[in-house]
Amino acid sequence: MPLRILLIEDDPDIQKMVRLSLMYQGGHQVSAASGGREGLEKAALENPDLILLDVMMPEMDGYETIKALKAQPGTRHIPVVFLSARAQQAEIQKGRELGAVGYLVKPFDPMTLASQLDTILSSGGQD
């Protein structure tokens, strides 16, 4: 089922990659924000079905962004999946504690990204 996905990621190339991949492999609609602040606004405005969130961003990083998303009543309910190059246990754990339902590691395989998201969402956030 095609979803409306909000990608919060500062690298424009990766934005393009994710959008193309998810469109091609699932027909999902992807809108993008280049930073945490923009992401918060867009999330409140568009009410996406899922937020893909990068960790390393200037100004407001992924952890601060998810905290803010969960604090805002309009965006609290939206499932958040981290997409990050940082993949150590401590970081994955932190993401989970902050309320993320999943954690995907870069570089990702563009041909399986969509199905990985499917798996995360359908398993109710247990990966």
Partner 1 sequence: MNFTKILHSVYGNSLDGIVISNKDTMITDVNPAYEELTGYSREELVGQRTNVVKSGLTPRTIFDEMWEQLRARGKWVGEIINRRKDGALWYSYLSITQIKDDQGEVVAYVGIARDITRRKEMEQQLRQNLLEIQAAREAADATANRLRAILESAGEAIIMVDNRGLCVTANHQVGSVLGISAERCIGQSVHELHSHATRVFRGGGALEWTPGPDGTPPIEINTLTVETREDQPRVFHEFSAPVQDEVGRVIGRIYVYRDITKETEVDRMKSEFIATVSHELRTPMTSIKGSLGLVLGGIAGTLPEDAKELLGIAQNNTDRLIRLINDILDISRIEAGKMEIKRAPLSVADSVHRAIRELEGFATQRSIILTADLPDDLPRAVADYDRLQQVLVNLLSNAIKFSDLHSNVLVTAGLDEDQIWVRVADQGAGIPKEHLASIFEKFHRVDNASTRKTGGTGLGLAICRAIVEEHGGRIWVDSEMGKGSAFTFTLPVEAAPPEPQFPMAVGSKTVLVVDDDPDIVKLIMLSLEQEGFHTLGATSGDQALEIARTRKVDAITLDLLMPGMHGLEVARRLKEDPLTKAIPVVVVSAYTDGHESELVTLGVSGVIGKPIDEDRLLATIRQVLGSRADGEADKPLVMVVDDDPDVRTIVGMMLERGGYAVRTASDGQEAFRIIMENRPDLLILDLMMPNLDGFQLVRLLRQRRWTQQIPLLVLTALDLTEGEKTLLRLGPTRHLTKGPALQEEIVSRVRDLMKPR
Q: Which is nearer to partner 1, 46 or 118 (CB)?
A: 118
Cα 29 to Cα 123: distance, rounded to the nearest angstrom: 22
Whether residue 82 contacts residue 102, with contact meaning beta carbons closer than 8 Å, is answered with: yes
Which of 85, 93, 115, 123 is in the footprint of partner 1 by CB under 8 A?
85
**Smallest distance from the beta carbon of 101 to partner 1, in angstroms?**
21
**Smallest distance from the beta carbon of 33 to partner 1, in angstroms?**
17
Whether residue 64 contacts residue 92, with contact meaning beta carbons closer than 8 Å, is answered with: no
Site membership for partner 1, residue 21 (CB under 8 A): yes
Site membership for partner 1, residue 96 (CB under 8 A): no
Residues near partner 1 (CB under 8 A): 11, 13-14, 16-18, 20-21, 24-25, 56, 84-89, 106-111
